[in-house]
Amino acid sequence: VTTLTATFFDVGHGDSIVVERDDPPLFSVVDCNLNLSRGETEPKAYRYLKSKGVTELDTVVLTHLHKDHYTGLEFFLRDFDIRVLRVPPFLSRNDKTHDKILKRLSAKIQEEIERSTDEFVFRPAYSLAYILAYVTANEDRVEEAAGKHNITRLCGFDAFISLPLPRIKGELHSKVQSHGSTSNTFPEMNAASVVLTVEHGGHRVTLAGDSTLEQWSEHKRQMERDRVTSVNATVLKVPHHGSRHNNDESLYEYVFKKTGRRLSIVSANGATHPHDEYFELVNKFGLEPYCTSLAEQCRAQNLIRLTGQTQLPDTTRPFLDNYRAEGPSVACQGDITVEVDEAGLRSVRGSTNNACIYRLPFAPSDT
């Protein structure tokens, strides 16, 4: 039996995913967020891999250049032997605009480092500088990731890249050229977000980064020409931390498989994201939601509903304690681990053992 395990680490607002295969043992990393507001000095995913004695990584994926996806990624680049680093299209050195982009980014990083000793500014800038230096020095192992259905492997499993669509490269280049956009003033960066799906045991796990609705709807149009009408995902790390701007009905209609268990995973801090609309989609599509952090909507609306129940399962206790907790980010499911083997979905579990109101028998249907 070969098992595919995907772990979505609770890193507040940000993505940090480890994909692994047990036999032969292979490990990949998708994005990283060093949670500075929780006082972390090493990424959780890094500690996890180190504790397992891992020295080699099959693939490292950087979905896009936002700091909640790259802060701390240099830990992996520095300490592991990496077979391939997959980056968004405009990052690799295969055309002349690359040098210009690199120069702009470097200038911006320099400026940030000089302007502030604040860790929250300095630390991500350092990570970005390290990544850019690594990309420059390791051309042979850096590969651009682009869709629309680009077959690849991840930890030896079948995988494919859906987004970004190849033409985003030209669009981003011309924007960088004309506006002088830099890493932090570049909202289009999400449009270049890499989306990767890994397959095993009849399941498709789609890691959607911060991908945009615009990219997805163009993807859908292009795939329909090839008579493909769905991504058929059974597990979706939803785009952009459950933002209303990047999650809607037509996207879920297109991405999710029509029948069977469907899991939606949110990697957010629970305070600013996910948005209300995400929970409407969960209800509408009958998804099994898993959130790393406890969402504001659950604290606000469901505390009263839950405490009104007399027959609460014991597992809801820590969850109720969480409702009362102060602070911007409290673990809900914590680190979420999905295991798939040849026979299908074997287990889904959170590190906290908290119950989820949306997965309880008396789950609300009107929120």
Binding footprint of Zn ion on the chain (CB under 5 A):
66, 68, 190, 210
Residue nearer to Zn ion on the CB measure, 201 or 209 = 209
Peptide bond into 24 cis (omega under 30): yes
Instruction: Give me the residues paired with residue 4 across strands.
Output: 21, 340
Residue nearer to Zn ion on the CB measure, 20 or 210 = 210
Report in angstroms how near the CB of residue 76 gets to Zn ion at its nearest.
18
Give the integer Cα–Cα distance in Å for 338 and 17: 11
Report in angstroms how near the CB of residue 125 gets to Zn ion at its nearest.
16
Give the integer Cα–Cα distance in Å for 274 and 362: 22
Alpha helix positions (H), the chain:
44-51, 67-70, 74-79, 97-115, 119-137, 168-179, 213-225, 249-255, 276-285, 296-307, 316-324
> Which token pair is 78?
């520095």
Report in angstroms how near the CB of residue 190 gets to Zn ion at its nearest.
5
Give the integer Cα–Cα distance in Å for 366 and 51: 44
Residue nearer to Zn ion on the CB measure, 5 or 212 = 212
Report in angstroms how near the CB of residue 3 gets to Zn ion at its nearest.
28
Give the integer Cα–Cα distance in Å for 310 and 291: 25
Report in angstroms how near the CB of residue 278 gets to Zn ion at its nearest.
14
Report in angstroms how near the CB of residue 215 gets to Zn ion at its nearest.
13
* Secondary structure tally for the chain: helices H, strands E: 11, 15
Residue nearer to Zn ion on the CB measure, 4 or 87 = 87
Give the integer Cα–Cα distance in Å for 19 and 266: 16
Residue nearer to Zn ion on the CB measure, 201 or 242 = 242
Residue nearer to Zn ion on the CB measure, 57 or 62 = 62
